[in-house]
Structures are given as structure tokens and as C-alpha cells.
Structure 1
Amino acid sequence: MKHLLPFCALALLSACSPQSADEQTSAPSTINSASAAASLVTFDEARFRKDIKTLSSDEFEGRAPTTKGEKLTLDYLSAAFKEMGLNTTYQDSYLQPVPMVSYTASESQQISLAGMTMENRKDIVLGTRHDKGGVDINNAPLVFVGYGINAPEYQWNDYQDIDMKGKIAVIMVNDPGFAHPESDKFNGKAMTYYGRWSYKFEEASRQGALGAIIIHDTAPASYPWSVVENSWTGAQQDLVFSKEVQDQRIAVEGWMTLDSATAIFKTAGFELTNLMARASDSAINLDLKQTADIAFTSEAEYADSYNVVATLPGKNAAAEHILFTAHWDHIGIDLTKDGDNIYNGALDNASGTAGILEIARQFAKQAQQGNRLNRSVTFIATTGEEQGLLGSRYYAANPIYPIDKTVAVFNLDSTNVYGKTQDYTIVGKGQSELEAYLIYVAKGQNRTATRERNPASGGFFRSDHFSFAKLGVPAVFAGGGSVPLDDATAQYKQAMQAQMKGCYHNVCDHYRADWDLSGALQDLAVYYQAAETLANNGDWPGYYKGSEFNSLRPAKD
């Protein structure tokens, strides 16, 4: 298996901000007006609803990888693609095996930090990504390492002059730009990849640390503690790595609450708020002169999960592929919960999976009517996104179709269930020329393309398109908006948001028959028309100057 290098080692995290495309209103020369075929496309809302409802039903048990829920999901998606007449892609099947391992830490854990007993789930969530039966750590020094960042291009190294061997790193969430949005630190309010939890654990491993614990803080994390508790307990899937790579990983990783961290730092003689302020101004590391005792058992189970991959071959340039991605997986069932314990994942991401099915049906229908695209279009329903973009990472490292023949990626992750909007959100807007296609089609819907309202959440790094962006493939994650079409839609949105508050990665993310999906269908049309135009015009979009990915596939200007 080919492994991806750590992202920071790819020299992609430039100190520059991406070129803004906010003022771009005219279409580039390669973008023509929507074709006659596109104007005739009508998405079937009833069918779209049925797919969401079925995939997020209790029968599918929350669609966790390597479970009964996965088998039902794979069968459902394969049958849908077969009915459309799309080509199989892997050994006469739609299923690409993704070798995975599930690590399940015991709920009974003995954890003491700075002499204080930590309660699993309530104060702390820990796990291990090693098949060694568990963790037994005694008297490991706790070291505060600020944001846990080593970024030469920002002249920032929280690990400067410290040997982390045998020690546990205590790390802040996000990056220094969050605390100083108006400064020139990192990318201001917009999170860089250095702010993501995945990077922090990777860097702690590179530094030779024994373990790493991130301090949860709702604002910079952009989600509450309940998301950590629900997402980081139970079986934790990961890709199967070589022994060499596996041996370099930290022995224990996880999160602690802000209150728990505050108490630990107070015991060590420090005010956490003061240290966090210092850490946001300059790189820092500090031995807390306190230790950790951590003991729990852990089981590892190996099994293949699967990406579902289907292709509609192109007419004149079949070797060149445009990808649509959406993750089919969710969190599954939590048997420790009383009452409702199924994480149905209707919005996240049965809705996105249903979205690529509906787009695929329309392209297949057009092909059957003689309107076949020049380039191929491939649809990938990925596994393991919730566990760290596992399926997309595996495909990117083991592509069925070459990456250098992959033109672009359109990713759907949670569709708009709040009705039509006057604007159109492009997450991380300003990265690539691919966005111009979306901007142009959205303008035809009388919508203005905007950036996400909370760039500090690091949305561009949190879904499957990112696995392809790291390799230089222009990839977009877009949809919805923040400005309702009219007063009636605004009132509906407010009421529905109240119903769904706290449902992200929670058991209340289930299908609702009163969802207004008109906005979601509007967004599907943007992706459809943008992809159709790109599939027929021969353009190869690139990343703008200032983007982290410009050196891999630069824009034309």
C-alpha cells in the first residue's frame, strides 16, 4: 500500500492567503453558458428524499464501516448505480476494498493527570491506534506545547529545543490566527491545516512524543464537547499502515475538556488562560512538572471496508475523469446509550450520498438520450470520512484512475435542508479556477457566491475533497448559503434550525419529512451544470497563486 506523506512535509502550507475570487463575475473564456441539455435537467425530489430516508433509517444502523449497516449501504448504492447503467470499476464490481482496522478502547479506564482522576467521556476521551492490547503508561511528564505546530514557513515551532521522548504533549485546538484574526499570523481567522486535530497528532508523532491530548474549546474547535464524546468513543477506524509507519505513531491520543485542563494547569501553578494567550503570540513549550498515569485495554479488528465507485465513460476523452464524492459512512450505534442510540446521519451524510446518486442519474439519462459527455464522470461514495477521510485518502493513494488524469473533484457533505438562498457558499473560497464554474452557474440562479461564514472551523480541510487537493487536484466543497430567499423561507429556516440544534454527530440527525429540499436541489444543479461544462470544454483548472496547492497544479494566469 502506498502511503501519503504527512501534509506539512509536502511544503503546501504557505504563509500566503489564497487569491480572492469574490469580485469575479464574468465567465472565463473556457466557460460557456449552460448547455441546452443542462437546462432540461429536472431532479426528482421524491426520489432524492427516498434515498435520504432509506440510507438514514434505523435499519441501516448508522452506517458505520465494517458493520451490517455498511453491507446494506453498499448493496443499496451498487444497485442504484447498476440501474443507471454506470460502469463497474474494480474487478467487475463497484466496490474498491479499503483495508481498515478498528480500535476499540475499553470504557473502563484508569486515568490520572497531575494527580487528579479523570472520568472517561465526562473529562477526557482517550484511545490508541496500536494493536498492543491497550495502554499502560506510568509517570509520563506532561508538556504544554501551545498549538503543537512546527511550521518553518511561519517561523513557528512549538517543539523548539525540547525532547518529547516519553512525554505527553498537551495541545491547544486551532492555530494562532484564530486568536489574532486581524494579524498576519498564519491565515487569520481562516484555519490552516496546522489547526486540525489530525495534523497535531501527526506532528506529535514526528516529534517522538509518547502521547498527545488536545484541549477542547468550543469556539476554536467549532463544535461542542458532545461531538468529541460521540465521535471519539467506540470503534475507531483507521487505515492499515506498514509497521514502519505504525511504530512512529504516538501511543495514546485524545481530548480533554477545557475545565479539566484548567484544573491541571492550576495544580501545576499556572493560569491556563494566561498561557493560552502567550501561546497565541509566540511559540511556546513548558514542562508542567506533572505526570500522567493512563491504563486501559484496547482491541483491534481488521476488515476491509469499501468505497463505492461507478463511472460514466466519456465520448472523446474517456481517460480524463471528473469526480463526484460523498461519504456514505456515519458513526453507527452506541450500545452504552439508553433509548435512541443510533446515529442515523441523515444530513451528514445520507443527504450528500443521495445527492451524487441524483446527479449520476441525470448524467446517465442524458447519455442514454445521446448527450454523452466528452470526459468521463466518476462517482465515489467513500468510507471512513468520519474517522479521518479514510476512504478518500485511500483512493487518492491508490486511484482507480490516475490522479494526473483527474480533472476536478466536486464534493457533497451535508446538503441544504433550509430552503432556497440568495447566496451560494464555497468553503475556502479563493482556492482554484474550478470555483469560477460554480460562481458562473450560481449567478445564473441569481445567487452570489460567498465564502463560508466561519472560516475558523477549517471546513476546507474537513471533508473528502481535501484528500485530492493535497495532490493538486482542484476540488470544491460548496452548497447552501446564509441568506434565505424570502421572509417565509427565513421563518422556516429559523424553526428548522431550532429543531436540529445540537444534532451534528448526534442521535437526532435523522430524516425529517418537513425538510425543505428546494435549496438542495438548487445546489445539485450548480454542481451538475459546472461539471457538464467542464466535461465538454477540455479545460484543466488550476490553483491560484497564494493557494497552498498552486505549486502542484497552477492556475493559467
Structure 2
Amino acid sequence: MKHHPLYAFALIAAFSAGCAKTPTTSTPAGPVTDAAQLREVAEKYGNTITAADLSKHLHIIASDEYEGRNTGEKGQKMAAEYIAREFREDGLVGPVKTGSNPYYQTFDLEKSQWGEGYITIGKQKFLMGQNFYVLGGSPFQAEQTVEVVFAGYGIDSDKYSDYNNLDVNGKLVVVLAGEPKGSNGNYLLSGTDKTSDWGNDYRQKRNAATKRGAKGVAIVMGGNATEFNSLTQRYKAYLSRPSLGLKSSAEAPAAATMFVSPAVGAALTGVTPEKMLAFAGDVTKAGKPVAAKFTAPKDIKVKTERISEPLPTENVLGYVEGSDKKDELIVVTAHYDHVGMEEDAEGDDKIFNGANDDGSGTVAVIELAEAFAQAKKEGNGPRRSVLFMTVTAEEKGLLGSEYYSENPIFPLANTVANVNIDMIGRMDFDYEKTNDSNYIYVIGADKLSSELHQINEEANQKYTKLKLDYKFNDENDPNRFYYRSDHYNFAKKGIPIVFFFNGVHADYHKASDSVDKIIFESAEKVARLAFYTTWELANRDNRIVVDSNKK
């Protein structure tokens, strides 16, 4: 899951590549297209997904040899080759028509690192990495003069907009972090004590500024230098390390996002920090957007140099074509990348094997793919086509799934649902207290389709009998897991999703996320639940409805 493991393990007998295959029986004259008949044979294929096979695969891709599967590096390429070979040997088709490998959707990420960065205002000079931080790309590769406009909280919604009568085209917009409250203490946007995405997700403000034509948005963090340093501590590491992203389109690059100290924000707007921050009180008193009477200096220059190079990577795709409803598609996903190696990690273990995150989901997808391919060989479906896709660069910001959602191999309009598996076969902090591994967190199934939620519930009741925990499905869940794995890039396109997740534990993103800690019997049950839900989605008579619009 978005946001490093090691011990020496003996690889399974003779480094066996792939699961034992179910013997192929003679193929009937034509495929079965009756939903009831296909439900009757579902368990036959679900039972081919076993703890032993999951273990066999995971001991390979989460071994030290794969070096933590960091995006674009040797281990990730090895994992891609392994997954593609499994798909091919199991009889899945490589659906990609371009490139040399039909199982790879290849694309270039942009590997970039910050160079020189500063803001000068008259004789004052503020340094990147000290007084401000930048996320994403930069339109200020060389020093340039920029016009600055203050836009309140940077909110631009139907009920509240700081951009009314404000021209920000080509300018740097300075905004306050968070969102405004009314005199009763409730947030103005929600009318309650709950914040909205405008306060929780900086991208909302970046996107609003981009839409209005701004060159960049500077978000003022904290009320003083101490608070700013505390709130932005984690960004210091970003400046010293290369980062990955999708290349911005030349036609509509996103506005640069800067997190600036109150001193920088005040200097950019020509006032004192106290006066700038007092603006929040003015909005509270008015209960609506307020136009600030700030006059920005004229001699503002910005440079935030970004040094970039392309980094090739690939999503791995295996396709099982459907029968009578083959134009409709179910997509089953997991991310096969992890975070690689860290030379400065504590202890002797420098390799972050990512057995649970998300080697566990990856091997589940391999097993589901084999089960569906076997069913097809024996004339038992699926009626709808199923795309099994392990995606790259999830740890770098859900980039592989985002790339697919913007460059789909199959039309998104024909994509019925996404089943996403990220971290299974472990217990989180809560369930460890009672040593209960017979559960799974289910996230997002009811957000867009009530039928998807019901299908998953019924599959579990009939076959797997796990405790389905909806704790993290709450729209007010502060962890916001719904937004933190690959399914979200499908949900954003209006495609119903279900996300299977075991929660966070002490080994999350540490070198100790190792294969020996996976409870393969638990992973087997969850993988089978994902299989039965996918089976019903693929074989039922009617495509599931999109009838919900929950957050």
C-alpha cells in the first residue's frame, strides 16, 4: 500500500516457477453461458486457490533476489517477468497490441530531483528546503518574475469560492491551509465539525488553481516557524531523494504546489504574518468568502529547478476473454512494486521485501488468473471478460493504475467493476490483540454500486465465512484508505470497486515485512472471496448497476 523486509529464506523446491496446474479435461462443444450452471461449478475453481500455491509464489517474488521490487529497478523488472510468465503458462492472453511484449503495458515515468530553489522578494531571499517546499512539477525551471495574488483558502466550490472576481491566470496564488469555520465553530463548507476534502487534500487547492490558469499555488502552513517546521518535516526527505511521477501533459500542466512558512506567505502578499493569519478571523466573522486587501510586492522572483529523466516501467496484464458478454470487462488488480532497498535502514536488513505490501495481493491475482483460465479451458466461462493486472508504481502515488485509467487497453465504459487486493494474510494492530485472522476489511463496495456490496456479502456467506469489517469504509475514517490504493483510479472514473485489505501492522513499510509472517490460510480465504465475487460479477445475467454516489 502507498506510503520497506528481509530474512534469509530458502526458496521453494528447485525454485519452482508456477503453481501446479489442474489437469485439463475435454472441452465441451461450446462454453456454458447459463448463470445458474456457472454458479454450481464456482467452488471447483475457487478450491484451486490454495495456501501452498500462494506461498510458493510469494517466497519467490518477496525474496531478497527481487531487491524490494522498487519501481523501474532490477527487482521490479524481475517480478514483471515472473508474473507475465505465469500468465502465459496458465493460458492467459497478453492483450497489449503495441510494444514487444503483449503482457506489458509499458510507459515512462519521470524520475526527477530538485536542484537550486529560492524565492526573492526585494532584498529578501527564502530557500527551498528551508523556508518552503515544492511538490510535483515546477514551471520555474529558470528564475523568473511572477505576479502574486492572495486567494483566501484557495477554495472554489459551488457554495464557497475564493476566486470570485479574481484573475489568477499566469500568477502565483497564495492561500491558507485548511478551511474556514463559522462563528459557531463548524466548518462553513460542511456546516458540521467535519472537514471536507478542501481541508484534507492539498490537491483540491492545486487543481482549483490549475483550473483558473495559475502558474503555482503557495499554501501557508502553520501559524509560526515552529509549526511550519513540524508540519513540513516529512518533505525534507523528498528534496534530497529522486521522486517519480507521470509526465504532465504539455497542454495543461498542473500548477506548482508550494508549502510555505507564514513568513514567506506574508512577504509574498506584502503584509505581516499576523495580519495575513488574521484573515481567518475575518472569514469566520463574515461567514462567507472575504476579499483581502493585500497588495503584493512587484519584485518577486522564483526559481525551483527540477532535473528530470525518463524511467521506463510496466503494468503486467493477462486477459481471459469472455463468452456471450465478452465486450464487458472485470478488472482484478494488485500492485507488485514495493519500495526497494535502503542503505541507511536500521539494523542489518536493508531490503524491504514487501511480502504483505503487496506481494500478498500480487500472488492472489496470479492464483485467480489461473483459476479463471482453467475454467475457460473446461468450457465454464467466464461470460464477461476478465483482465488480471498487476500494476507498478503504487508506492509512488498510484501511478501505474492512474496510467491505465488514462490509457486503458479496454474501454472504461465497458469496465463493469474493479476488484483490488492490497495487503492480505496478516493481522492489524486491533485483530492481533485477539489473535483473530479470520477477517478482512472491505472498502468501497457500496460507494458506487449497492449490488457489488451485496454480491460480496453473499459470496462470503456462502463460501468463505470471514468477518467482513467495514470500519475503514466510513467516509470520515481519518486513514482514508479508500483513496490510498489502486482501485481509487477506477472509482474516480465511475467504475464500482471493492478493496480487500488486512490493515496496518508493526511491519508496514519496514524491512521486517517478510514472508514468514504471512498467514497463508488467511490469505487463501481472502483470495477465494475475491475469486467468488469476481466469478459472480463475470457470470451473472445483468451488469451491476451504478446506483450510489457515496464518498
Separation (CA, whole Å) in 2 of partners of 1:35 and 1:374: 15
CA distance in 2, matches of 1:528, 1:301: 40
**Offset of residue 95 of structure 1:** 0.5
- For 2:84, the aligned partner's letter is S
- 1:371 shift after superposition: 3.3
Matching of residues 194-273 of structure 1 within 5 Å: 195-214=200-219, 234-246=241-253, 249-250=254-255, 252-255=256-259, 268-270=273-275
Distance in 1 (alpha carbons) for counterparts of 2:262 and 2:330: 43
| Change over 3 Å in CA distance of 1:426–1:286 after alignment to 2 | same
What amino acid does structure 2 have at the position aligned with 1:528? F
Distance 1:539 1:65, change over 3 A: same
User: Counterpart in 2 of 1:441?
Assistant: 459
Distance (whole Å) between structure 1 residues aligned to residue 357 and residue 441 of structure 2: 19
Partner of residue 105, structure 1: 114
Cα-to-partner distance string for 1:318-353 (whole Å, 9 max, x where unaligned): 222111122233444567879776655444333322
Q: Does 1:474 align with 2:496?
A: yes
Gaps of 5+ in 1: 1-29, 218-222, 482-495, 549-557
Instruction: Specify the SS of the correspondent of 1:359.
Output: helix
**Which residue does the alignment assign to 1:381?**
390
Matches within 5 A, 1:176-195: 185=190, 189=194, 192=197, 195=200
Deviations 1:473-493 (A, max 9, x none): 222223347xxxxxxxxxxxx
User: Residues 339-390 of structure 1: CA distance to partner in whole angstroms, max 9, x if unpaired?
Assistant: 7766554443333222212222332344445533222211112233344433
SS in 1 for 2:252: helix
Q: 1:420 matched to which residue of 2?
A: 437
Residue matched to 2:320? 312
CA distance, structure 2, for counterparts of residue 176 and residue 142 of structure 1: 22
Which residue of 448, 461, 478 corresponds with 1:431? 448
Q: For residue 352 of structure 1, give the secondary structure of its aligned residue in structure 2.
A: helix
Q: Contact 2:52–2:520 (CA<8 Å) still a contact in 1?
A: no
Check whether the contact 2:356–2:515 (CA below 8 A) recurs between aligned residues.
no
Q: Is the Cα–Cα contact under 8 Å of residues 437 and 522 in structure 2 kept in the other structure?
A: yes
Q: Does the Cα contact within 8 Å between 1:136 and 1:294 map onto a contact in 2?
A: yes
Matched-pair identity in %: 24
**Unaligned segments of structure 2, at least 5 residues:** 1-34, 223-229, 428-435
**C-alpha separation in 1, matches of 2:525 and 2:278:** 45
- Is 313-322 or 180-189 further displaced after alignment? 180-189
Distance 2:180 2:379 in 1: 51
Counterparts of 1:1-40 in structure 2 under 5 Å? 35-38=40-43
Residue of structure 1 in register with 2:412 after alignment: 403
Asked whether the equivalents of residues 177 and 199 of structure 2 are also in contact (C-alpha less than 8 Å), the reply is no
Distance in 1 (alpha carbons) for counterparts of 2:470 and 2:92:
34
Report the Cα offset of residue 285 of structure 1: 6.7
Q: 1:196 to 1:319 in 2, by over 3 A?
A: same
CA contact (8 A) 2:440 2:501 kept: no
Alpha-carbon distance, 1:94 to partner = 0.3
SS at match of 1:245: coil
User: Which residue pairs with 1:553 in the alignment?
Assistant: none
Question: Aligned residue for 2:93?
Answer: 87
**CA separation in 1, counterparts of 2:36 and 2:132?**
51
Q: Output the CA distance in 2 between the equivalents of 1:33 and 1:277.
A: 64
Q: CA RMSD in A?
A: 4.5
Q: 1:254 to 1:442 in 2, by over 3 A?
A: farther
**Which residue does the alignment assign to 1:460?**
482
Q: Which amino acid aligns with 2:490?
A: F
In the other structure, the counterpart of 2:152 is 145
Distance 2:483 2:496 in 1: 14
Q: Secondary structure at the match of 1:435?
A: helix
1:484 alignment partner in structure 2: none
Offset from partner CA, 1:450-501 (integer Å, 9 cap, x none): 25155344433333222222333222223347xxxxxxxxxxxxxx93x33x
Looking at structure 1, the residues matched to 59 and 378 of structure 2 have their Cα atoms a distance apart, in angstroms, of 29
Pair 397,48 (structure 1): closer, same or farther in 2 beyond 3 Å: same
SS at match of 2:96: coil
1:211/1:253 contact within 8 Å kept: yes
In structure 2, C-alpha distance between the alignment counterparts of 1:546 and 1:348, rounded to whole Å: 29
Decide which moves more: 379-388 or 275-284: 275-284
The separation in 2 between residues aligned to 1:159 and 1:104, in whole angstroms, is 32
Match of residue 24 from structure 2 = none
TM-score normalised over the length of structure 2: 0.72
Q: How far apart are the structure 2 equivalents of 1:338 and 1:460?
A: 31
What is the identity, as a one-letter code, of the residue corresponding to 2:459?
Answer: V
- Matched letter for residue 37 of structure 1: A
SS in 2 for 1:269: helix
Contact 1:174 1:196 in 2 (8 A): no
Aligned-partner Cα distance in 2 for 1:41–1:405? 29
CA change 1:35–1:290 in 2 (3 A) is farther
Contact 2:487–2:497 (Cα < 8 Å) also in 1: yes
- Change in Cα spacing, 1:66 to 1:213, as seen in structure 2 (3 Å) is farther
Q: 1:32 to 1:212 in 2, by over 3 A?
A: farther
| Counterparts of 1:446 and 1:268, CA distance in 2 | 54
1:540 aligned to 522, 539, 543, which one? 543
Taking structure 1 as reference, are residues 262 and 294 closer, same or farther at Cα in structure 2, changes over 3 Å only?
closer
Whether contact under 8 Å (1:428, 1:459) holds in the other structure is: no
Q: Decide whether the 8 Å contact of 1:48 with 1:358 is kept in 2.
A: yes
Structure 1 residue 194 displacement after superposition = 8.1
TM-superposed CA distance for 1:301, in Å, is: 1.3
Q: Are 1:450 and 2:450 counterparts?
A: no
Alignment partner of 1:356 out of 349, 365, 371: 365
The residue that corresponds to 1:157 in the other structure is 161
Q: 1:524 to 1:253 in 2, by over 3 A?
A: same
Aligned residue for 1:319, secondary structure, equals strand
Contact persistence 1:87–1:310 (CA under 8 A): yes
CA distance in 2, matches of 1:72, 1:93: 17
**Distance verdict in 2 for CA 1:448–1:101, change over 3 Å:** closer
Deviation of residue 232 (structure 1)? 7.2
CA contact (8 A) 2:197 2:204 kept: no
| 2:420 partner amino acid | N
Q: Which residue of 2 aligns with 1:488?
A: none
Equivalent residue, structure 1, for 2:143: 136
Give the aligned length.
Answer: 485
Given the superposition, is the C-alpha separation of residues 81 and 184 from structure 1 closer, same or farther in structure 2, using an over 3 Å criterion? Answer: same
Distance 2:486 2:275 in 1: 40
Structure 1 Cα separation of the partners of residues 360 and 493 of structure 2: 27
Partners of 2:363 and 2:232 lie apart in 1 by 29
